[in-house]
Structures are given as structure tokens and as C-alpha cells.
């Protein structure tokens, strides 16, 4: 079955450590996205990528980094520079950036201790 796989589902991190969240899709989608979800707020865009080896910052990119070396993969690194990293992170994809249905992963919940 086609879909998006995020891992890990739960992750605990000490302050000052970088952590990488994995996102893999087998839908052959060009566009991939990372969103952050906090209680009582709408999803906010961190980074997105339209094609391999290209990505753009979203609304809240500070303290995060991404790569897009393969079409199927769009990992997100939460760096120690992110001041408030505890949140729920969702990866999504769509056929094209400007149109099309969004497909989401199951999410990764990061807690900084």
C-alpha cells in the first residue's frame, strides 16, 4: 500500500541535542512538507520541497534543517537552536506543490527533557 511513513512515533531528547525525524513516501509525489502542531494552534509549515535537492523555508524554519537527496525521503533535523522543540511533527506529500490532495504521515511526537 502506498503511503507516508514517519519514524519514530515518540522521541525524547535532552536539551542541546540534535534529533532527526524520518519521513518516507512511496506515492511518487514530488512535493513534501513538514508541519508542526502545537495544542490549540493550526498546523504551521516548517519546510517544504518541490523537487529533489531543493527545499524552501516555511513560516517557522528557524532551528530546523532538512534535506531532499531522494524523491522518497525528506528528513527533518530539529537542532539545539530550536528554542521550543517539544511538539507534534507531521510530514505530508502531494503530487504537485500548488494543487492536489494532501497525504499525511502518522506524526512524530518530540519531547525535550
> Given the rule CB under 8 A, which residues bind another protein?
31, 33, 35, 40-45, 48, 50, 56, 58-59, 88, 90, 92, 97-107, 109
Shortest spacing between CB 75 and another protein, in angstroms = 17
- Minimum distance between the CB of residue 61 and another protein, rounded to whole angstroms? 10
Distance of closest approach, residue 15 Cβ to another protein, in angstroms: 24
- Nearer of residues 73 and 80 to another protein, judged by Cβ: 73
What is the distance between the alpha carbons of residues 22 and 18, in angstroms, rounded to a whole number?
13
| Backbone angles phi and psi of 39, in degrees to 5 | -55, 130
The residue (of 1 and 101) whose beta carbon lies closer to another protein is 101
Does residue 105 have a cis peptide bond before it, meaning omega lies within 30 degrees of 0? no
Question: For another protein, which is the closer residue by CB, 6 or 82?
Answer: 6
Calculate Rg over the CA atoms of the chain.
13
- Rounded to a whole number of angstroms, the minimum distance from the CB of residue 16 to another protein is 26
- CB-based burial label for 79 (10 Å; 0-12, 13-18, 19+): middle
For CA atoms 67, 68, 70, 71, the dihedral sign is positive
Amino acid at each position: 500500500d502506498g503511503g507516508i511513513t514517519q519514524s519514530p512515533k515518540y522521541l525524547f531528547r535532552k536539551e542541546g541535542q540534535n534529533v532527526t525525524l524520518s519521513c518516507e513516501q512511496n506515492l511518487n509525489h514530488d512535493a513534501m512538507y513538514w508541519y508542526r502542531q502545537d495544542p490549540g494552534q493550526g498546523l504551521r509549515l516548517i519546510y517544504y520541497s518541490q523537487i529533489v535537492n531543493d527545499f524552501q523555508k516555511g513560516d517557522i524554519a528557524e532551528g530546523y534543517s532538512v534535506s531532499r537527496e531522494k524523491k522518497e525521503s525528506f528528513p527533518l533535523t530539529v537542532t539545539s537552536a530550536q528554542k521550543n522543540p517539544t511538539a507534534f511533527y507531521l510530514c505530508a506529500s502531494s503530487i504537485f506543490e500548488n494543487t492536489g490532495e494532501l497525504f499525511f504521515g502518522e506524526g512524530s511526537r518530540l519531547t525535550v527533557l
